[in-house]
Structure 1
Amino acid sequence: MANTALVLPAGVTVPALVASAGERAGIRFLEFFASAIRNPHTRRAYARAVGDFLGWCAGAGVSSITAVQPLHVAAWVELQTQTSSAPTVKQQLAALRHLFDWLVTGQVVPVNPAASVRGPSHTTKQGKTPVLDATEARQLLDGIDVTTPVGLRDRALIALMVFSFARVGAALAMRVEDVYVQQRRLWVRLREKGGKAHAMPCHHTLEAYLHAYLDSTGLAAEPKGPLFRTIARGTGQLSARPLPQQDAHAMVRRRALAAGIGTAIGNHTFRATGITAYLKNGGTLENAAAMANHASTRTTQLYDRRCDEISQDEIERIRV
């Protein structure tokens, strides 16, 4: 179960502890992952947490999912805190709470054993996402060879995440028609987390990169096709398949290494880089939140890394 990619109900394996509670429990368990969770990343994370927990319960002598008690959940959470970060453990506990809530409403178990268990304390005022400064971001973009379709694609994708604050999932889900002209400017349409639609005009640099990408690859003739695509094997040309997120991550790491950037960046780096650069150049937190499609400026503040430079300057005052 822990290693299963839950995409369709047919791909889900019912753990022994669930199967022992009867066919109804098994069906309800499958429905939780197939119906109650729409985000594939959340589905995978919850499946991993639930699988690990039920595997631990089986090893602890629990005979059925109906026999799980708050003490079992608390013991497992305590065990997880020894090897995992507080946010990870809180997410794992959330997976158990949601699953057992689903089983309670389906009358499979009488009460939710995870409801009364407290997770580890965790507060944060700043995100941990690695951020590039403006010079490094420009170095990365300028270092990409754009004489090939893959170079044009990579530069356009990175620039989109920097200049529109787009999450990589929203960027990779774009179709060609999501780049369009409005009010004599190029706009991009993003579908962010929770199904929230978001549109914003392009920065002039992003506009130039997108035009170069679409015009040189001929993608403008395929409005319904994916905007960012894989490269067909052995051809060096774009395929019809959308670029997977893990491939995008490998790409940005490879591009950073080629540009001589030592920071271990990831896809989310560019969202934080763009927001920080915007705020450093006089942008407001309220507008940054609107551009990033954040419901609250408190979330946007996690991406504001201007204090990193201040901290470094102050540290250098320590002279011995």
Structure 2
Amino acid sequence: MTALAPLASPTLALPAIVAAADPHAQRHFLEFFAATIRNPHTRRAYARGVGDFLDWCAARGVTALAQIQPLHVAAWIEELGRTVSVPTVKQRLAAVRHLFDWLVRCQVVPQNPAVSVRGPAYSQRRGKTPVLDPHEARALLDHIDTSTCIGLRDRALIALMVYSFARVGAALAMRVEDVFVQNRRLWVRLHEKGGKRHEMPCHHNLDEYLHAYIDGCGLAEDRKGPLFRTVARGTGRLSRTPLPQANAYQMVRRRADAAGIGTRIGNHSFRATGITAYLKNGGTLERAATMANHASTRTTQLYDRRSDQVTLDEVERVMI
């Protein structure tokens, strides 16, 4: 166990069943998270799901990984479905299934107890992310005080997510050099999930906001530095530390409250807002999928909220 300490972290703390196993099993358990999962968000979610399952098993007298049977997985899934959403249940089942696939390949256990367990059925035609209408989005951008570097940064970040349909993770991973000129237009380079690189020309408003931010805050010479940065404590000036996603969320909520927007928006709301505005103005679903870097238009449809306006119009017909 001591030899594994450098690999462990609070997220990957060994559950009791794994801690009681031999070093071979412990090492391969940690390798599953450290070597096979590159996305940090997926790693945290899978570690949470696997830890929950193994703790559940330990509380019911299971003392070794090889003792876990399909019945245990099925009972856990049944119980889990009473307290969390269906997508969460499916994600946690996937975490357990992938872990045991890995442990079977590494000859830690003889079989995968989760492979035969079916998750709950789930079909989603409309996303749950709150969106803004174009007037609200415009009011939010216009309400930001851009007399400071913080204001210039916040406006540029929100505009980037709206106009380029960027995920907040891809936006915050950008370097200054990822804003570049090509064909006499400003472009942005986004590093999306799965190592995909996605380049997009800038809308004229985004062009203006990015220029104002980079030039106004003196970032142009620091090409390798992060594009969106934290504020150095006590100085009011930008540091060289990338802005964390949690800080971006707090900023969005603060800016929305200051602009008088009641919708409980988050970082992802701007992606859905931009896609919906694009489609309302005659854009095609296929082009929207390309711009959003979606592998399928079915994913893009989850961000299309044009039907919300139709539903609202119909509701108003109930004239009582």
Q: TM-score, normalised by structure 2?
A: 0.97
CA distance in 1: counterparts of 2:60 and 2:8, whole angstroms: 29
Shift of 1:171: 0.2
Q: Are 2:25 and 1:10 equivalent residues in the alignment? A: no
- What aligned pairs does 1:1-320 form with structure 2 within 5 A after superposition? 9-11=7-9, 12-320=12-320
Shift of 1:88: 0.6
Which amino acid letter does the alignment assign opposite residue 137 of structure 2?
A
Q: Which residue of 2 aligns with 1:3?
A: none
CA distance in 2: counterparts of 1:311 and 1:159, whole angstroms: 28
> Aligned Cα RMSD in Å?
0.8
Q: Which residue of 1 aligns with 2:3?
A: none
CA distance in 2: counterparts of 1:20 and 1:193, whole angstroms: 35
SS at match of 2:44: helix
CA distance in 2: counterparts of 1:147 and 1:137, whole angstroms: 20
CA distance in 2: counterparts of 1:212 and 1:148, whole angstroms: 11
Which amino acid letter does the alignment assign opposite residue 217 of structure 2?
T
User: What are the Cα deviations for residues 275-302 of structure 1, in whole angstroms up to 9, with x where unaligned?
Assistant: 0000000111111011001111111111
Answer yes or no: is the 8 Å Cα contact 1:156–1:206 preserved in 2. yes
SS at match of 2:198: strand
Where structure 1 has 5 or more consecutive residues not aligned to the other structure, the ranges are: 1-7
TM superposition outliers: structure 1 runs of 4+ over 6 Å? none
SS at match of 1:241: strand
User: What are the Cα deviations for residues 164-202 of structure 1, in whole angstroms up to 9, with x where unaligned?
Assistant: 000000000000000000011000000111111000100
Answer yes or no: is the 8 Å Cα contact 1:21–1:66 preserved in 2. no
Shift of 1:81: 0.5
Answer yes or no: is the 8 Å Cα contact 1:87–1:122 preserved in 2. yes
Which amino acid letter does the alignment assign opposite residue 9 of structure 1?
L
CA distance in 2: counterparts of 1:21 and 1:141, whole angstroms: 55
Q: TM-score, normalised by structure 1?
A: 0.97
State, as a whole percentage, how many aligned pairs show the same letter: 71
SS at match of 1:221: coil
User: What are the Cα deviations for residues 118-160 of structure 1, in whole angstroms up to 9, with x where unaligned?
Assistant: 1111101111000000000000000000000000000000000
Shift of 1:87: 0.4
CA distance in 1: counterparts of 2:121 and 2:253, whole angstroms: 32
Higher mean Cα deviation, 113-122 or 17-26? 17-26
Shift of 1:14: 2.0
Which amino acid letter does the alignment assign opposite residue 231 of structure 2?
I
Where structure 2 has 5 or more consecutive residues not aligned to the other structure, the ranges are: 1-5
